[in-house]
Chains A and B, each alone.
Chain A
């Protein structure tokens, strides 16, 4: 059986933890310092589906979305899956999800998408960020998770969920 390859993109406001989530998923590491991503970094992770089929995930860590500085949407072309990440401590990063999603869907209309509210280790459920993330996710009707790249909570699950959603044609 030939190796199936799938492109997954992480998208979101700057500093929401895209790089950190990938690092946690691929290398199981985390760092507290912040180094912004310019352009894109592509990591790979090979996973095995239940039926034994191997899938190579090409995970695109795309630079943070700047509402004004216009990030190139070309990065999302050809994506089979998109993980939209927001920072639960920052309302602005959550509120930009709908418009960001609209822009990306134009470029990658067939991509499965999933929403992630990251940095749960910093907020409780009463936090306006948490409430707003729930509201927006439910409003959009998309699957969503709250995660922490710092302590690893739900990180694996997000990728698993997305891979299963993409699997229809994969495995």
Chain B
């Protein structure tokens, strides 16, 4: 063998030459190691013959045009590691060099270092995630939020009891249910969630308590119900107010005895599970008009948790808004700086009937259309903009303006639960102006 043919073996590399179209024109015999199934490569397209180059036609063009090389740093193959490089060949450029180089030793070194680094990074990321599980991602420092967090901690420590979460839509009921479950039962215990409004009554019963073969037309197998699936964990019944009266009765029996009977079965089963129920309606009121069983209400209401509306959370609005900017920056891979002072003002002034979810949606929407800088007032879309300007029309026979002002002041105070800063915000007044007007009308709260 001429010495030139042995050279690549000694230097641990091999090569082929291809024309501008990527057709192999010449090659070193050892290149055949990289083209399984071929005995002669002349005239063969590179990306057919070399599996590693499948689909890389665009690379030839880039290499030929830019006169730069292209590299696949580490390719592992049969206990060895190679790098693959593609260079422009000839002056002027008339084709391509394809070179495979054995870099096994370097790869081994890299692996040793990387292995340690990665193990540490993975552990760290797991720990960070655990912070979130403990409710660490519940944003809010207001007294109401702090109370809520304490409540969660305490609930997680006690034996399964029923928890009733009540609050307006979007206040975080589902979120809190998950946090309670994580804190109490950990990551692997079952968390079974069902929205009582999502299924018609007849399906819901089988869904909840399971059914045996033949119980109804399509019941061709025994089916485990969600109550049973939740054994050892949590059953979360969302929108519990939508449960029909007969099902309310079944649920009550289950809560009292921890036993239930699958649809069509004549034997009872027993499970141990934590029940969390949620509703955005006032269940107490529903018991008064007879659509919700009073005894079930009291059974569920062992630990009542009321989630505050966003407008009651004072400064938490700002914390939450900043949190969502950081959150969507990560999600959209952007770096929006935050809000202009005008935008902050608009956010604190708005009443947020859809609560935290509406805030999150509003910021998400603003950030989709924004690429840099701060979110401005105009970027924010409110679904219930302050309507006063357009909608209060002077009646034909006039009104008593002072009487109206007094009424609105009282209403704002009522809505704000007596909190003057909040009431002032509802009326777009400063606290001092509000105080002045309250004194004027002799309103003393």
Identify the A interface with B (CB < 8 A): 5, 7, 13-15, 34-42, 44, 58, 63-64, 72, 74-75, 77-80, 89-93, 95, 98-99, 102, 121-129, 131, 135-136, 139
Q: Is B305 close to A, CB under 8 A?
A: no
Interface residues on B, range: 35 or more
Q: Are B55 and A77 in contact (CB under 8 A)?
A: yes
- Contact partner of B72 (CB less than 8 A), chosen from A5, A72, A90, is A72
Contact: B125 with A38, CB < 8 Å? no
| Contacting pair A58 B54 (CB below 8 A) | yes
**Chain B stretch 122-177: residues in CB contact (< 8 A) with chain A:** 122, 125-126, 128-129, 132-133, 137, 177
A58 to chain B, nearest CB (A): 6
**In the assembled complex, how far is the CB of residue A42 from the closest CB belonging to chain B, in whole angstroms?**
7
Q: How far is the CA of A99 from the CA of B77 in the complex (A)?
A: 30
* Residue from A34, A80, A89 having most chain B Cβ neighbours under 10 A: A89
SS of B interface (majority): helix
> What residues make up the interface of B, taking CB atoms closer than 8 Å to A?
47, 51-59, 70-77, 81, 107, 110-111, 114-115, 118-119, 121-122, 125-126, 128-129, 132-133, 137, 177-178, 181-182, 187-191, 193, 233-234, 330-333
- Cβ B81 vs Cβ A89 within 8 A: no
**Assuming A36-B111, A38-B111, A78-B54, is B81 touching A128 (CB within 8 A)?**
no
Q: How far is the CA of A74 from the CA of B63 in the complex (A)?
A: 13
Closest 4 CB pairs of A and B: A39-B74, A78-B55, A126-B191, A126-B178
Interchain CB contact under 8 A, B107 and A122:
no
Residue of B nearest to A74 (CB): B72
Shortest Cβ distance from B107 into chain A, in angstroms?
Answer: 5
Q: Is the CB of A128 within 8 A of B191?
A: no
Chain A residues positioned under 8 Å from B132 (CB to CB): 91, 128
Docked-complex contact A124 and B190, CB < 8 angstroms: yes
Tell me if A14 and B332 are in contact (CB < 8 A): no
Q: With A39-B73, A98-B331, A98-B333 given, can you name 7 additional A-B contacts, CB distance below 8 Å?
A: A35-B115, A36-B114, A72-B72, A91-B125, A125-B193, A126-B191, A128-B178
**Other-chain residue from A14, A58, A121 in contact with B51 (beta carbon distance below 8 A):** A58
Contact call B75/A40, Cβ cutoff below 8 A: yes
User: Known interface pairs A7-B55, A77-B55, A91-B129. Does A126 touch B75 (Cβ–Cβ under 8 Å)?
Assistant: no
The interface residues of chain A lying within 8 Å CB-to-CB of B188 are 121-124
Is the Cβ of B76 less than 8 Å from the Cβ of A38? yes
Chain B residues contacting A77 (CB-CB under 8 Å) are 55-56, 58-59
Q: Which residues of A contact B115 (CB under 8 A)?
A: 35-36
CA distance A58 to B54 in the complex (A): 9
**Contacts A/B (CB < 8 Å), 26 sampled:** A14-B118, A38-B114, A40-B72, A41-B76, A42-B77, A58-B51, A64-B118, A72-B72, A77-B55, A78-B56, A78-B59, A80-B55, A89-B126, A90-B129, A91-B128, A91-B129, A91-B132, A92-B125, A98-B332, A98-B333, A124-B187, A124-B188, A124-B189, A125-B191, A125-B193, A128-B137
The number of inter-chain residue pairs (CB within 8 angstroms) is 130
Contact A40 B76 (CB under 8 A): yes
Complex contacts, B128 vs chain A, CB 8 Å? 90-92
**What are the residues of chain A within 8 A of B129 when measuring CB–CB?**
89-92, 128-129
A5 nearest in chain B by CB position? B54
Residues of A within 8 A of B76 (CB): 37-41
For B72, list chain A residues within 8 Å (CB).
39-40, 72, 74-75
A127-B59 contact given A38-B114, A42-B51, A99-B333, CB 8 Å threshold: no
B116 to chain A, nearest CB (A): 9
Q: Which of A124, A126, A128 has most B Cβ within 10 Å?
A: A126
Asked whether, in the complex, the Cβ of A78 is within 8 Å of the Cβ of B58, the reply is yes
Contact with A15, one of B53, B122, B133, B330 (Cβ below 8 angstroms)? B122
Tell me the smallest distance from the CB of A90 to a CB of chain B, in Å. Answer: 4
Contacts of A78 in B (CB 8 A): 47, 53-59
- Measured CB to CB, the nearest residue on chain A to B55 is A78
CB-CB under 8 A from A42, the residues of chain B are: 51-52, 75, 77
Chain B residues within an 8 Å CB radius of A99: 333
What's the Cα separation between A91 and B331 when bound, in Å?
12
Q: In chain B, what residue has the closest Cβ to A101?
A: B333
Residues in chain B near residue A44, CB distance under 8 A:
51
Q: In the complex, A98→B332 CA distance in Å?
A: 6
- Smallest CB-CB separation from A103: which chain B residue? B333
Residue pair B58, A127 in contact (C-beta under 8 Å): no
A44 to B36, CA, bound (A): 13
Contact indicator A127/B55 (Cβ below 8 Å): no
